[in-house]
Amino acid sequence: MVVTMATAKTRQTRGDLVYAQLRGEILGGRYLPGDRLKFGTLAAECDASMSVIREALTRLSLEGLVTNEPNVGYAVTEISVPRLRELTDARLELEGLVFGRAIGDGDLAWESSVVAAHHRMVGTRYLTDDAPVRVTDEWALAHAAFHRALLEGCANKKLLQLANGLRDEAELYRRWSQPLGREKNRDLDGEHRRMMELALARDVGGAVTALRDHIAHTTDLLVESDIAVHTAVTM
């Protein structure tokens, strides 16, 4: 019994590592939207069994980062403006609902986690020194952690899981766009700070409106940016 439990724990840990590796490589651009993800190749590159690869790809498909089609297999999700618009519509409704619930349900520990996540994000370098310039992996993680912290106070964990899943899917679009936040007349830091302050003030209406405006604005900028280079959509 002890051996079985230890083996299961080791396997789960390996599965988590492979999942994190593949997720990072997809978001980092090693695999492009539409690229096929072949079991044999991934197993060799990750030094993992087929079952571990399948587990990782299943988790990534639940996040919307990969797709699985009969007789085709797994592939990195293709991006398009119509899909982004549909995703944004869903996020506006669900994230707004969950954020409002979080403000109503959240306790002092939730408030502290929001402040800490915001502080970490603000203190993290935003852009790389690469050519072309892109958002740093560290800031992307800190940014995701801040938005997760905003929603984390929601007592309904099923709603929270669904909202976070939509955010994960949207990450593919953010990573394949030009760095956002340095546009003229946009104060990205101010948008994040305002969401935090309104949440801490328990202003549900104001905070939800700020979040929805933030999401919608980002989508509009993504559509205007070089996302078109990676799609077959004519804008």
Q: What string of pLDDT tens digits covers the 235 residues of the chain? A: 333 444 444 445 788 899 988 988 887 677 888 899 999 999 999 999 999 999 999 999 988 889 998 878 999 988 888 989 999 999 999 999 999 999 999 999 999 999 999 999 999 998 888 766 777 888 888 999 999 999 999 999 999 999 998 998 888 787 766 555 556 667 889 999 999 999 999 999 999 999 999 999 888 888 876 554 444 332 2
User: 96 and 211 share a domain?
Assistant: yes
- Rounded to whole angstroms, how far apart are CA atoms 96 and 58? 27
d(CA 83, CA 67): 13
Give the count of domains, the chain. 2
Regarding whether 168 and 142 lie in a shared domain, the answer is: yes
Q: Does residue 87 share a domain with residue 37?
A: no
Number of other CB atoms surrounding residue 42 within 10 Å: 22
| CB 49, CB 43: distance < 8 Å | yes
Give me Rg for the CA atoms of the chain.
Answer: 19
Q: Are 88 and 215 in contact (CB under 8 A)?
A: yes
Do 66 and 87 lie in a common domain? no
Element (H, E) at 75: strand 73-76
Domain range for 194: 81-225
